[in-house]
Amino acid sequence: MSENASNSKDSLPRSSSSNSLYKQSAAANMMPSTTAASISSPLPSNNSVQSFRAPFLSPASRPNSTLWSPPSYAQYANTGFPASPSASTTALPLGTSPFASVVTKSKPPLPSTRLAAPLAKSEKPWLTQREPRSRLAYFITYFCIFLGAAAAAVVCWHGIATVDVLDRNSLCLVLDEEFSGSDLDSSTWNKDVELGGFGNGEFEMTTDSSDNLYISNGELFIMPTVTTAKVSNIFQGNYTLQGCTADMTTIAAGSNSTNSTSASTCTVVANTLRGTVIPPVQSARVNTKGKKNIKFGKVEIRAKLPTGDWLWPAVWMLPENNTYGAWPLSGEIDIIEARGNNPTYPAQGSNFVRSTLSYGPLPTLVNRIFGWFSMKRSSFADDFHIYTFEWTENYIRLSVDTVLHSMLTIETKPGQRKNSYWAKAGFPETARNGTDGEGDLVVVQDPYTVPEATRAAPFDQSFYLIIDVAAGGTSGWFPDNKGNKPWFDGSQTAMRDFAQEQDTWYRTWPQSANDRAFRIDYVKMWDQCK
């Protein structure tokens, strides 16, 4: 027994005295002096150590038992500690401990700070006399509010007052076309029947066929179709356009001509070896030249755009008499241009419409002022929209549906630093008069200094209206390397390359005329008569 006891003591790390351990502990310091003194004597040196530490050993190290139970505090009954049965498993009440009566004392609740009743005015001495500057503070606050409201009103009024609005009383109706008949009125409209590319290297021929131009349900339809529906082989042979309205001139189709003054063509020679083809698309184009024109005024068109890859619908105007010379000297007004490609097309598809003013002293030196309007969740081919052109000596505005949806607004009011179109262009003093930067170096002269010119020149002369649907072209309207474009503008075989990909682009053209055709509901023109 003595050997076991000795071994037990040696196996437990301990200091020289268990009494000194307790005396130096925090519990001894918290106890009353009398209590601590009475506890110090009964602590045994050997067995107490084992029974005191046993509860804190791991289950495998607890002596003589596989089931641990709480230790008994009966031996401390007269020391001030509450006794506890050795096998009790009852939990102590929440918030209590054996040391509660010794360590802590409950505190009474703090008195409430809530007022028993609202204070009377007499109990608020700070209200008997106002602060000296309180009136000034109120005045400054309300004055600043009034000043802000007044400034906002002035800004709004100025914004409304400075908007250029045409006086309806100054407008005289020139054209009110509702397309109520079975065919176009020949006293108003001309039909262009040509296949020369119209200066843009376009890939369509325009016809007067009822397949491409007709009126239905009070709307004008310009319907593009493929030439292969009527011509078996567009890559070989001669083709003469019936009813051609231009001089009979024969050229190799597909040439990349950009000279708008060149004669239109009525006959084409297609040759596979030369890379020339019969235009693969048939469409239509109408104009009011020599019949309806305006100088300053307003144009309004309600229309639904076509959809289909590489289709190019347009409503635009050209000068009636070329007062300042051939294009581009006398200018061009594009009221609306669009692309039939779907909205995912990276160079502005059918969810964009665009307006442009073009003019310049040389065919190689052209200034273009343009703007556009877009729709985020739909396309202009989904429904009808109203396109408006307002034109005076002081300004030009082109808009969609409302003046708030402006595609392009440009002013030439008196007193402005650049109050003329020539000044706005900022043309250089010299330029090459040939294509691709070649040709002779010539001095760039202002052609709008003639006596009859105004600050609105060249847009101060009579213009007539054109409506058409083109296909493709080499003028840059469809940029190279965008949207799987099947041709390059600079290629001499551009039209042939386009025609060879007909199976691809024709699949994007709707079979329904309601969606493929350019549908015009009405056209109205007013002249500024006062």
Catalytic residues: 332, 337
Least Cα distance to 248 among 266, 268, 222, 273 occurs for: 266
* 433 DSSP assignment: -
Contacts of 347 (CB under 8 A, 6+ apart): 339, 341, 478, 479, 482, 483
- Here the tokens at position 170 are 């100054």
Q: Which residue has the tokens 């437990």?
A: 12
8 Å CB contact between 395 and 164:
yes
**23-to-40, 165, 178 alpha-carbon distances in Å:** 8, 102, 113
Residue type, 114: R
β 250-251/267-270 pair status:
parallel
Beta bridge partners of 240: 267
Query: Whole-angstrom Cα distance, residue 435 to residue 363?
Result: 8
225, containing H or E segment: strand 225-226
Buried b (16+ CB within 10 A) or exposed e, 269-308: ebbeeebbbbbbbbbbbbbbbeebbbbbbbbbbbbbbbbb
Q: Residue 259 has which token pair?
A: 């000279």
Q: Which amino acid is at 55?
A: P
Query: Checking DSSP bridges between strand 225-226 and strand 219-222, what pairing results, if any?
Result: unpaired
338 residue type, one letter:
A
CA distance to 162, 209, 361, 369, 416, per residue, from 411 (Å): 12, 42, 21, 12, 9
The pair of structure tokens assigned to 530 is: 């006062």
Return the residue matching tokens 């105007």.
317
CA 250 vs. chain centroid, Å, equals 47
- 49, 64, 94, 115, 302 from 84: Cα distances, Å: 20, 22, 17, 49, 99
